Amino acid sequence: MWTRAFGSFFATSGVKFQSELCLRGRSPRLLCSRCADECPPGALDLAGRLPNLQLSRCTECGVCGAVCPVEAFTLLPSPVDLFANTRERGAVRLACGKLPGSGETVRVPCHGYLDVTLLTTLGIAAPRGLWLDTSGCLSCEGRRGFSAAKRSFDAASRLLTVLGLQAEIAFQPDRPQWLGQTNTDVSRRDLLRRLAGKATTAAASLVVDLDRQTEGGQSGLPSKQLPLRRRLLLHILRSGSNQTPEMLAAEGAPWAEPRIGSDCSACLLCVTFCPTAALTAYEDPDHLEITLDSSRCVACDVCAQICPAGAITFVSQLSVADFVSAHPHLIIDFPKIACPSCGQLFISLPQAKLCPRCQKDAELEQDVSSWT
């Protein structure tokens, strides 16, 4: 049985898909296939414009939600609930439902549900350590979920190191020595108390603070939203005093740093289609500039795919300070000059000698001359 994503969403008992967020629905030129490529049971099909879900094959592992850069797929537990429960426990064992639990255990559908952004957040939130218990992964059919989780773990470990945070985080089947021993009965009583009080209050507060905000679309285009996982990570980073001048390798990082080359035609399609408003444009009588807010970039590659001139590339080293500070910085500036034919100001491009109107008139005159 297939459920098609023709409406605003399709949902199983645990997975929700919001088609208005999906990158594939924004333009035929955007061919993101991460969800189908990484789905462990192969339950997602991209034969149409939007993903189709085969309900009988879906295991609700959450890998689709982890790899989707705009969180078109969501399921429980929410990132906010995971954050609140992790912060309250201090030392946390993340485990799927197939493994026995204890008072320190926080359940996740699969370790593949934990992308680099969420893992970094949980690593910071667990003051006495975070253990991803992989003892059940080798016998699990969803091995691609394990592979995705390992990539996220490696990238999160690098990011935590660059941030200067001495977080204990482990991805292994055996209990880490630093996690210590936990009295299960006491932990369960403590867990019930916390869930009834502080943890629930903290989660409810964060839901309000981190609720997705819509910047608004243009001319019927989809609205621009910052994914909840990203908002949660930025919240915890900015609540501390961690400012670092360090650079981070771009591979596996949760954001990217686009560069715009001289072939740019200033069409602003990259700005228009950026799903999170990481790229913005500002124009005044003297110039046009495009800026980047690294904290809003989700490494979706939309800007490069949509650029008709192929002018966008990505750097190999990322500024962590730019990411944490959320201060937009200039990536290209176009001065305006007076058209030598009509005197009107227009954006100066290497390939443009006249303003667009005069250029069209000149081309038309040339065509007419060739006919006579």
Q: Please tell me whether residues 85 and 149 are part of one structural domain.
A: yes
Residue finishing a domain among 25, 60, 75: 75
In a domain? residue 220: no
- Is position 113 within any domain? yes
Number of domains in the chain: 4
**Structural domain includes residue 215:** no
The reply to whether 54 falls in a domain is yes
What is the model's pLDDT at position 161?
A: 87
Domain-embedded: residue 216: no
Same domain, 297 and 351: no
Q: What's the predicted TM-score (pTM) here? A: 0.80
Residue 11 and residue 38 in one domain? yes
Residue 11: CATH number of its domain: 3.30.70.20
363 and 310 both lie in a single domain: no
Place of tokens 């009080």: 197
Residues 190 and 270 in one domain: no
Same domain, 319 and 345: no
Q: What is the pLDDT of residue 296?
A: 94
Q: Does one domain contain both 191 and 233?
A: no
Q: pLDDT value at position 67?
A: 94
The verdict on 46 and 135 lying in the same domain is no
Q: What is the DSSP letter of 176?
A: P
Query: In this structure, are 200 and 87 located in the same domain?
Result: yes
Angstrom distance (rounded) from CA 307 to CA 18? 25
Whether residues 83 and 203 share a domain: the answer is yes
Report the pLDDT value the prediction gives residue 187, as an integer from 0 to 100. 41
| Helices 184-196 & 198-209 angle (0-180, nearest 10) | 50
Strand ranges inside 50-138, DSSP E: 52-54, 73-75, 92-95, 105-107, 130-133
Residue 166 is predicted with a pLDDT of 67
Residues 189 and 116 in one domain: yes
Q: 25 lies in which domain range?
A: 2-75
Q: What's the CA gap between 123 and 109, in Å, rounded?
A: 18
C-alpha–C-alpha distance, residues 276 and 214, integer Å: 9
- One digit per residue, the tens of pLDDT, for the chain of length 372 reads 344 443 344 545 578 888 889 999 888 888 899 999 999 888 898 888 899 888 888 888 899 999 999 999 988 888 888 888 888 777 788 888 788 877 778 888 889 999 999 999 888 888 778 889 888 887 777 677 888 899 999 999 998 888 877 678 899 988 888 775 544 433 443 433 343 344 444 444 554 455 444 444 444 455 678 899 999 888 888 776 555 667 888 888 999 999 998 888 888 999 999 999 999 999 888 888 999 999 999 999 999 999 988 999 999 999 888 888 878 999 988 888 887 888 777 777 776 777 777 877 777 777 666 665
70 and 93 assigned to the same domain: no
| pLDDT at residue 368, rounded to an integer | 65
- DSSP notation for 177-189: GGG----HHHHHH
Tokens of 277: 């408003």
At residue 222, the pLDDT reads 57
The beta strand positions in the chain, using DSSP E, are 2-4, 9-11, 15-18, 44-45, 52-54, 73-75, 92-95, 105-107, 130-133, 169-172, 247-249, 258-260, 279-283, 287-292, 312-314, 317-319, 329-338, 345-347
Q: Residues 297, 255: contact at Cβ < 8 Å?
A: yes
Residue 47, classed as helix, strand or coil, is coil
Distance CA 254, CA 230 (A): 9
